[in-house]
Amino acid sequence: MSETINKDLFGAEAAEPDADKNFLVVGIGASAGGIQALKEFFERVPAESGMAYVVILHLSPDHDSQLASVLQSAARIPVTQVARRGRVVPDHVYVIPPNKSLEIKGSGANAELC
């Protein structure tokens, strides 16, 4: 299997999946009252599910979100708030910051924070 090194949405080096190897991107949305349910969900996600997870939570844009660190305490896979354009990779949780959206388009799961 041939792999190249890329930067993920957080600037960390990430092994890029082969172009012919597809993976699912799971989108999860919740209100601020859904944090416990999200924690329970990610407690049960295996370390190598082969899927990427995108989480958006309805929060005030006037406050910094701590959702990524809250979910990381429960998850077996990396959880980080998306900060810039990059590549979505499997076995990661991508948290969208308040008052932002994330567009995933094209092959190779390229993503752009809007």
pLDDT tens digits, 24-65: 999 999 998 999 999 999 999 999 999 999 999 988 888 788
Give percent above pLDDT 90 in the chain. 49
Q: Can you tell me whether residue 35 is helix, strand or coil?
A: helix
Over the stretch 61-88, which tens digit does the pLDDT of each residue have? 887 889 999 999 999 999 999 988 888 8
The dihedrals phi and psi of 6, each to the nearest 5 degrees, come to -130, 170
The answer to whether residues 53 and 94 touch, using CB atoms and an 8 Å cutoff, is: yes
Q: Where are the beta strands (DSSP E) in the chain?
A: 5-7, 13-15, 25-31, 52-58, 79-81, 86-87, 92-95, 102-105, 110-113
The answer to whether residues 53 and 26 touch, using CB atoms and an 8 Å cutoff, is: yes
Helix (H) or strand (E) run with residue 67 in it: helix 67-72
Exposure string of 1-16, with b = 16+ CB inside 10 Å and e = fewer, is eeeeeeebbbeeebeb
Between CA 19 and CA 40 the distance in angstroms is 32
Between CA 89 and CA 7 the distance in angstroms is 10
Over the stretch 17-26, which tens digit does the pLDDT of each residue have? 455 578 899 9
Q: Any idea which fold 5-113 has?
A: Rossmann fold (3.40.50)
Residue spans of the domains in the chain: they are 5-113
